[in-house]
Amino acid sequence: MSAVPSPAGALTAARVLAHTRELGGRAYRMRQERAYVLTDSGELADWLVRRGGKPNVPQGADQRLDPGAYRRARDGKIEYDIWIHTIAVDGPSIWEALDASA
């Protein structure tokens, strides 16, 4: 017997953005339907990646840090840069939801 997905458990852009804000993340839009989150929460970064987010790893990044992590300043606080437009959601895309919340 196959399970039928419940709409109550559906991941929507609104849920992704609400959880991001709850954990102190900042979501931004870019051109060409791209969106990303900056956060100092490793928990949020992990949650986003497990749902399909992609760590942004720039050239020259400190290889000792987790993917997507960077230091805000030399020996400073660690933050994460995670692309979130790659997360599959039901309904409007994350990029569209960010436009509506502006």
Q: Per-residue confidence of the chain (102 residues) as pLDDT tens digits?
A: 444 455 556 799 999 999 999 999 999 999 899 999 999 999 999 999 999 999 987 766 666 777 788 777 777 888 999 999 999 999 999 999 998 765
Computed over its alpha carbons, how large is the radius of gyration of the chain?
15
Q: What are phi and psi of 30, to 5 degrees?
A: -125, 175
Contact between 91 and 58 under an 8 Å Cβ cutoff? The reply is no
| 1 CB neighbour count, 10 Å cutoff | 3
C-alpha separations of 78 from 50, 57, 90 in Å: 20, 14, 31
pTM for this one? Answer: 0.81
